[in-house]
Amino acid sequence: MKKFLLVLLISISAALYAQRDYPLIPRPAEVLSGEGHFFMRNDTKISYNRDTTGAIAEFLAEKLSVPTGYSIARSKGDGGVIRLLITDKYDNLLGKEGYRLNSNPSGVKIEANTCAGLFYGCNTLLQLFPADIMKNSATETDWKIPALEITDYPRFRWRGIMLDVARNFFNAQEVKRFIDQIAALKFNRFHWHLTDDEGWRIEIKSLPRLTKIGACRVKRYGVFGRRDAPKPGEKAVDCNYYTQEDIRDIVKYAAEKYITIVPEIDVPGHSMAAVASYPELSCTQDTSIKVSPGMEFAQWFGDGTFKMFVDNTLDPSNEKVYEFLDKVFGEIAELFPGPYIHVGGDECYKGFWEKDSGCIALMDEKGYEDVEQLQGYFMSRVDKILSSKGKKLIGWDEILDVGISEGATVMSWRGIEGGKKAAEMGHDVIMTPTSHCYLDYNQGDQSIDPQIYAGLRVSKTYSFEPVPEGADTKYILGGQGNLWSEQVPHFRHIEYMLYPRAWALSEIFWSKAESKDWESFSDRMFHFFERYDSAQINYSKAVYDPIVKVSSDDGQLFLKLFSELSDIDIYYTLDNTMPDNHSPLYSVPVPIPDGPVILRTRAYREEKPVSHMLKLEKKELLKRAGIFQ
């Protein structure tokens, strides 16, 4: 009996160890350790059992051939050392996107019900190899993976990332690179924010001014939101958009990575580029309106309300607007085969509507008492247009405030309450609250990271739970991270803002809720730093940086230093010298002396500096204590 219990204990420990030890993101549903390793050699072959999976074998062969320098053969049949198999009988546990991966010294087998499942299994296989598998040139190393058994499937159907290409444009090759990266993390939705005040980025053949004018703005540099407005007569020379040929190519490319693209045409607000192109679409019909180059054109108040200085909204009382949208969504529907089109609906200023005779007449006709109801009318008209094209409407959670059509899907961004309310009403919901999912927020201390109005650390992102307490889970499709690009001027900074937070979201949306473990994720995150270094993919190391807080007790300031990580030592100085691992080691709150002291602090891991060095002068320390001078 004792021997049996000992064997059982060892088996359980091995299984638990496997879950924590393998550097896989997102974390699989189940991992069982085996004995030994599988070694890949130059004569390794990949086989597949269906014609439809040949492309996946080709994908895997290329991913393995480039860093190893091996000529990885692939063929249909069952004779490969690495076998990719579509199941003969549907496995209900795996569903549409799950897979089983079995590796041992003799070979590797990946099984799935669908091509998508096989693709995800192949990406897990790649993660099991050493970090050098991510390199873009041949490297000599032991190309081995551990013997194990993985059974894996996603928690949510919708696992998305949004990229804004209106504020800053990214070309077709960069978009494909973005798709490659998120597909490797098992995301399956790419929400493409194509239009806004700062640019119209998609060709609409029946409305050529949208790209001739709406895709162009005057050239400006510097911090977005503080730039000069266009000057009278100044030529708009910064012009970028995707042709319909580009769109078709990218949609096809994404589909090959099992990603559905959800296009967004943001209306009725956020429409300055459309209004600049066709002024008759707005209430003011102001022909002097130009595409914003990143200027300030609104005043925001502390209660969340705002006032627009420029009319960037479509006129809900103008039938020409709906004729315009019918053309736009007609062409969009032809380009994107997915079931959804996102129509925005957020941050729509109604001040110009309130004064417009056409809007006032429409309110009288409909018996509306509140101008907000006009947006509900507008959205119902848009929903009918989309339905006529065979598409479903998605909007930001503001659409709940003004009445919502029966089949609409809600993206809950102003917290989770909008999503919870929508689910109670029987609407499908995608959870994407600013508190956990806004990837344009900075990741570290404001003194180091490029400044923006809010921060979001990776540990906070990892703490996200998409299903609110008491919500009906059948209406929660999943979640999404959003990367707005106002402060993201180039692709390297896309990567910096995405990672490691997109790793955290991939695990939240894919893995079992009960498997969430920050310590385990932290360990695997360190391995992924190495992998992304090998691939020359950028990422933020802000997770290493000390967190600095200051409190005041009866006039005495106290310094408090924290870390998101458990195996970090934080050293500091207050005497204007450079800290190292022989400086004071933080352990308890430190009294800050009077006078013009300067805090410098840095984190160490395993006796090596890993963080940025933070430098905060006395004025900033006082500010963090709530004392302003």
Give pLDDT, residue 13.
43
Q: For 157, which DSSP code?
A: S
Check if the beta carbon of residue 429 is closer than 8 Å to that of residue 412: yes
Check if the beta carbon of residue 333 is closer than 8 Å to that of residue 341: yes
Give pLDDT, residue 204.
98
Give pLDDT, residue 405.
85
Say which residue the tokens 């930001």 belong to.
396
Say which residue the tokens 């059982």 belong to.
8
Give pLDDT, residue 14.
44
Cis peptide before 500 (omega within 30 of 0): yes
Give pLDDT, residue 21.
66
In whole angstroms, give the CA distance from residue 257 to residue 184. Answer: 9
Name the CA dihedral angle for 284, 288, 289, 290, rounded to a multiple of 10 degrees.
160
71 CB contacts (<8 Å, ≥6 apart)? Answer: 42, 65
Q: Which residues of the chain have pLDDT under 50?
A: 1, 6-20
Give pLDDT, residue 104.
97
Provide the annotated active-site residues.
196, 270, 347
248 CB contacts (<8 Å, ≥6 apart)? Answer: 335
In whole angstroms, give the CA distance from residue 5 to residue 135. Answer: 45
**Which tens digits make up the pLDDT trace of 49-97?**
999 999 999 999 999 999 999 999 999 998 899 999 999 999 999 999 9
* Strand, coil or helix: 300: strand
Check if the beta carbon of residue 121 is closer than 8 Å to that of residue 101: yes
In whole angstroms, give the CA distance from residue 417 to residue 561. Answer: 33
Cis peptide before 26 (omega within 30 of 0): yes
Give pLDDT, residue 3.
52
In whole angstroms, give the CA distance from residue 568 to residue 541. Answer: 13
CA angle 35, 30, 130 (to 5 degrees): 55
User: Residue 297 class from Cβ within 10 Å (0-12 exposed, 13-18 middle, 19+ buried)?
Assistant: middle
Closest residue by Cα to residue 196 from 280, 285, 297, 288:
297
Domains of the chain, CATH where assigned: 2-152 (3.30.379.10), 194-225+238-395 (3.20.20.80), 545-624 (2.60.40)
Give pLDDT, residue 629.
65
CA distances to 277, 318, 385, 436, 510 from 428, rounded to whole Å, are 34, 30, 20, 20, 18
Closest residue by Cα to residue 376 from 397, 347, 405:
405
Give pLDDT, residue 451.
83
